[in-house]
Every structure is written in C-alpha cells, then in structure tokens.
C-alpha cells in the first residue's frame, strides 16, 4: 500500500460516513498538488542534466533529436538507430528519445557512444535548445510542440498503411509535414516520387550499412554459433535470411524453394513479428530452420556462414516502397543476394532478382556460383562502400539550408 493510500484510509476511519466524500476530494486535490510538484522537481533535474551535457559538448556543430519512435534496445536495429550512430560519429550531439511507454530506462539521459545519448525525457525538456534538428516520422507530429524553432526532418520511411493508428489522422499529419518540414527525406524511390509533386527538394535517402562494423565483426568470427554449426556440412549450401518475419515475408515461396532443393538448408533469424511465422507451414519442412531472435551485434556471426543471402518478400505496394535495411549489410559481407522483384532492391546491380517461384530457385543455383566470382563480389563490395550510414548522414546535413545550420562557440 502506498503512503497516499494509507493516509486516505487513516483519515476516512476517523471521519463520519457523511464526511468521507469530503476526505476523498481533499486527498485528490493534495494528490494533484503532489504530482505537479513531483513533475516540477523531475523537470528541474532533467533540465540540469541536459545543461551539463550541452556544456560538455560545446564543440558539436549540430544538436540532433530523434523524436520517440522505437526503443533503443529493440531487437531489430533499425534506421533511426543507425542514423543516430552515424550523426554522432560525424560530430553531432545526438539524443535518441525513448517512447513514453518504454520500461527500458528510468527518466534521464544515458550515454551510449561518444556524443550519443538515449533520452527518456519529455520532449519539452529540449525547449532550452535553440533550433535543434529533429527527426520525425508520420505518426509523431504532436511531439513538435514544446520545442524552440525546431528544424524538422520528415523521414518518410514506408507507405502509411504500415503504421498503426487512424489512417485519416496519419494522412493529415503526413501532408502537414510535407508542407512544413525543413527537409523531407524518402527512403525509397517510389516514396520519393510520391512526394516530389509537393516537395521538389525532397531527398532520396535509402537505407544503408555500417560497413566498418560488418567487416570488423566478420573478421573477428572464427567459428559458427552452436545453433548454426549443426547445420553446416561441406556439400550443403546455407541459404540465409535475417530480419522481421511478418506478413510481407513470402512463406509460400520459401516452402516451394525448400521442397525443390532438399539438399539446401534454409536458415531464418528474426522475430515472429505478427504471428505469421507461427501460422505458416514452414515448420513442417525439414530443411527450414528458424533460429529465433539474435541481437544486431551477433548477426555477422551467422551471416559469415551464409552461402547465399535472401530477401524473399511478397510483391505489393508496401514492399515495392521498402528499402530493405539488410540489402547492403549482405553486400558488405560479400554475399550473393537473391531477392524477389521489389522495385527498390531491383535498382541495384548486385541484387540477383527472381521473378516467380521457379525463377527464385534458379536464381539460388546461380547465386551459389557467384559466391566465388571475383567480379560479382567486387560489385557488391563497391555498392556497400558507396551506401554507408555515414554517407547518408552527410547527405542529410548537406541538404539542410546552410543558413539554418547551427554554429557553437
């Protein structure tokens, strides 16, 4: 029992029944005062912490906020995480704001890397920061309030159908951000073409790769993880995939390929995002293996032993407008990449594009020959080097109006 509950019952026992309602009203009033006072004390503490961090990083040219979207500790390391790291590496002071419902952190600021902090704070705490660069998604327009002349970067990640919430409200916020954001960034060619009629200055900025991380991680791996080692045989190719397993994953295609190539081992790594994996029939196929979720830092340990890496997504409006975050990670590992004929993946010469189930199987066979093809491997390595998160961060900073770039003394 909390002290406030105990106080309530203590007072109520001492009052006539007719006055107990008065006691409830009084306690509710004092509880509201206490909560307001506690918020004020917390706000002062957080503001003081922020002031100390700002003082420690006076050399940072830009202060960048990522409005609340995904958890920092999310099992799938996503675009906001990677961009936050890239901006920090390039000298910006970055605050990655945790969602309000997150239980991973108590209220406060948490250093993750040099110049990068996870911030579990109300966004209005940043009112003291003049004109920060703030990354927003389609669904968190309301978080703009309380900031001091923010320079809004609207990161248009996916078709609006993929986001939760009321579609009409999402549409309204989307159009408002298109018209008012300092910079509009689209992650895929189709999304970019959609917004060009409203914002001819919109930036095409697909997902990318932390090339240095992938290469260093691969070089440090000297033996396969135990759960993968049992599947590795000298003459048995491993066809791999990592990422979310969701309704956009083509389970029927995978079943067809596994049945057509029983000598291949198909390995899946990632969360059953929406229960679609459980509903699928892939567990019946003896050469399909779901290894569950693995942290981002461990993925290269598995990727190193893939003979072919795949992106077997269904073809629809959403996937045609998707920039698969794993595409350039696969290429950085110098793996042949077989993908279904999604518009965004098909734009890159290193992608081996399959058109239909039979062609997908043929492309797997062809890709196995490419794994020792020096010309092909040089192509995918070059594409990975050209498409890094550091390059994307620089592209965004250069696209912001120079007159609005911050300079700190």
Q: DSSP secondary structure string, 335-384? A: --EEEE--HHHHTSTTEEEE-SHHHHHHHHHHHHHHTT-HHHHHHHHHHH
List all residues 6 or more positions away from 1 whose beta carbon is below 8 Å from its beta carbon. none
Helix (H) or strand (E) holding 86: helix 79-89
C-alpha angle 47/53/54, rounded to 5°? 90
Q: How many other CB atoms are found less than 10 A from the CB of residue 31?
A: 13
**Of the candidate ranges 42-46, 254-258, 266-270, the one whose mean pLDDT is the lowest:** 42-46
pLDDT tens profile 293-322 = 999 999 999 999 999 999 999 999 999 999
Beta bridge partner(s), residue 183: 153
* Spatial distance between the Cα atoms of 132 and 93, rounded to a whole number of angstroms: 10
The answer, yes or no, to whether residue 9 has pLDDT greater than 80, is: no
DSSP 134-154: EEE-TT-GGGGTT-BS-EEEE
pLDDT at 165: 76
Please report how many Cα atoms fall inside a 13 Å half-sphere around the Cα of residue 223, on the Cβ side. Answer: 4
Q: How many other CB atoms are found less than 10 A from the CB of residue 147?
A: 21
List all residues 6 or more positions away from 2 whose beta carbon is below 8 Å from its beta carbon. none
Q: Which of 18, 22, 23 is nearest to 7 (CA)?
A: 23
Q: For the chain, what percentages of helix, strand and coil (3-state, to nearest 5) are there?
A: 45, 15, 35
Task: Specify if 93 maps to a domain.
Answer: yes
DSSP 165-177: S-HHHHHHHHHHH
Query: Is 216 found in the same domain as 130?
Result: no
Report the mean per-residue pLDDT for the chain.
Answer: 89
The answer, yes or no, to whether residue 29 has pLDDT greater than 90, is: no
Query: Is 223 found in the same domain as 197?
Result: no
Query: Is 220 found in the same domain as 203?
Result: no
Task: Specify if 19 maps to a domain.
Answer: no
* Spatial distance between the Cα atoms of 328 and 319, rounded to a whole number of angstroms: 17
Task: Specify if 37 maps to a domain.
Answer: no
pLDDT tens profile 327-363 = 999 999 999 999 999 999 999 999 999 999 999 999 9
Mean pLDDT of 386-395: 98
Highest mean pLDDT among 14-23, 32-41, 148-157, 251-260: 251-260
Mean pLDDT of 379-397: 98
pLDDT at 30: 42
Query: Is 109 found in the same domain as 161?
Result: yes
Query: Is 354 found in the same domain as 239?
Result: yes
Mean pLDDT of 203-209: 97
Query: Is 221 found in the same domain as 184?
Result: no
* Spatial distance between the Cα atoms of 84 and 77, rounded to a whole number of angstroms: 11
Task: Specify if 194 maps to a domain.
Answer: yes
Query: Is 174 found in the same domain as 93?
Result: yes
Task: Specify if 32 maps to a domain.
Answer: no
* Spatial distance between the Cα atoms of 408 and 254, rounded to a whole number of angstroms: 54
Distances in Å between the Cα of 278 and the Cα atoms of 97, 162, 271, 272 are 32, 20, 11, 7
Q: Which of 71, 321, 163 is nearest to 173 (CA)?
A: 163
Mean pLDDT of 365-392: 98
Query: Is 284 found in the same domain as 193?
Result: no
pLDDT at 146: 78
- pLDDT band at residue 36, thresholds of 50, 70 and 90? low
pLDDT at 34: 41
* Spatial distance between the Cα atoms of 20 and 179, rounded to a whole number of angstroms: 55
Residue 91 near residue 123, CB atoms below 8 Å = no
pLDDT tens profile 57-74 = 999 989 999 999 999 999
pLDDT at 369: 97
Q: What is the CATH number of the domain that holds 281?
A: 3.40.50.2000
Q: Which of 259, 266, 288, 227 is nearest to 357 (CA)?
A: 259
Query: Is 264 found in the same domain as 219?
Result: yes
Full domain range(s) for residue 92: 53-208+391-404
pLDDT at 284: 87
Task: Specify if 26 maps to a domain.
Answer: no
The answer, yes or no, to whether residue 89 has pLDDT greater than 80, is: yes
Q: How many domains does the chain have?
A: 2
DSSP character at residue 184: E
- pLDDT band at residue 25, thresholds of 50, 70 and 90? low
Mean pLDDT of 263-281: 95
Query: Is 228 found in the same domain as 174?
Result: no
Gyration radius of the chain's alpha carbons: 25
* Spatial distance between the Cα atoms of 399 and 256, rounded to a whole number of angstroms: 45
Residue 130 near residue 122, CB atoms below 8 Å = no
Task: Specify if 116 maps to a domain.
Answer: yes
Query: Is 186 found in the same domain as 72?
Result: yes
Q: Looking at 216-332, which runs of residues are DSSP E strands?
A: 238-242, 265-269, 288-290, 308-311
pLDDT at 403: 39
Query: Is 187 found in the same domain as 134?
Result: yes
* Spatial distance between the Cα atoms of 250 and 277, rounded to a whole number of angstroms: 10
pTM for the model stands at 0.88
pLDDT at 52: 97
Burial 297-320 (b: 16+ CB within 10 A, else e): eebbbbbbbbbbbbbbbeeeebbb
313 phi/psi in degrees, rounded to 5: -95, 150
- pLDDT band at residue 264, thresholds of 50, 70 and 90? very high
* Spatial distance between the Cα atoms of 326 and 232, rounded to a whole number of angstroms: 22
For 102, counting Cβ atoms within 10 Å of its Cβ (0-12 exposed, 13-18 middle, 19+ buried), the class is middle
The answer, yes or no, to whether residue 37 has pLDDT greater than 70, is: no
The answer, yes or no, to whether residue 10 has pLDDT greater than 50, is: no
pLDDT higher at 407 or 282: 282
Task: Specify if 409 maps to a domain.
Answer: no
* Spatial distance between the Cα atoms of 18 and 114, rounded to a whole number of angstroms: 62
Beta bridge partner(s), residue 204: 186
- pLDDT band at residue 407, thresholds of 50, 70 and 90? very low
């Amino acid at each position: 029992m909390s002290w406030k509950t105990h106080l309530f019952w203590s007072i109520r026992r001492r009052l006539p029944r007719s006055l107990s309602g008065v006691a409830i009203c009084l306690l509710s009033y004092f509880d509201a005062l206490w909560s307001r006072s506690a918020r004020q004390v917390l706000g002062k503490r957080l503001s003081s912490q922020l002031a100390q961090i700002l003082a420690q990083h006076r050399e940072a040219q830009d202060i960048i906020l990522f409005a609340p979207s995904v958890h920092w500790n999310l099992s799938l390391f996503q675009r906001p995480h990677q961009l936050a790291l890239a901006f920090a590496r390039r000298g910006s002071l970055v605050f990655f704001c945790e969602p309000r419902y997150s239980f991973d952190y108590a209220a406060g600021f948490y250093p993750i890397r040099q110049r990068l902090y996870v911030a579990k704070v109300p966004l209005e705490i940043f009112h003291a920061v003049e004109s920060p660069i703030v990354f927003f998604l389609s669904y968190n327009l309301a978080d703009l309030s309380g900031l001091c002349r923010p320079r809004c970067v609207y990161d248009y990640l996916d078709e609006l159908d993929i986001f939760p919430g009321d579609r009409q409200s999402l549409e309204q916020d989307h159009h408002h951000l298109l018209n008012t954001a300092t910079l509009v960034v689209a992650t895929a060619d189709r999304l970019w073409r959609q917004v060009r009629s409203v914002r001819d200055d919109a930036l095409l900025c697909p997902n990318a790769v932390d090339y240095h991380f992938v290469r260093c991680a691969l070089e440090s791996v000297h033996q396969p993880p135990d759960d993968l080692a049992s599947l590795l045989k000298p003459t048995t190719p491993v066809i791999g995939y990592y990422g979310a397993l969701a309704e956009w994953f083509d389970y029927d295609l995978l079943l067809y390929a596994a049945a057509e190539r029983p000598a291949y081992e198909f390995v899946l790594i990632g969360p059953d995002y929406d229960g679609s994996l459980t509903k699928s029939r892939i567990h019946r196929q003896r050469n399909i293996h779901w290894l569950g979720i693995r942290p981002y830092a461990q993925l290269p340990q598995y990727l190193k032993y893939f003979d072919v890496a795949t992106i077997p997504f269904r073809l629809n409006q959403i996937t045609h407008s998707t920039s698969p975050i794993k595409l350039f990670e696969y290429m950085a590992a110098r793996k042949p990449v077989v993908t279904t004929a999604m518009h965004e993946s098909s734009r890159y010469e290193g992608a081996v594009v399959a058109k239909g189930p039979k062609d997908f199987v043929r492309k797997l066979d062809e890709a196995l020959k490419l794994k020792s093809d020096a010309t092909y491997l040089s192509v995918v390595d070059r594409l990975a080097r050209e498409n890094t998160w550091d390059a994307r961060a620089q592209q965004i900073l250069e696209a912001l109006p120079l007159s609005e770039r911050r300079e700190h003394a």
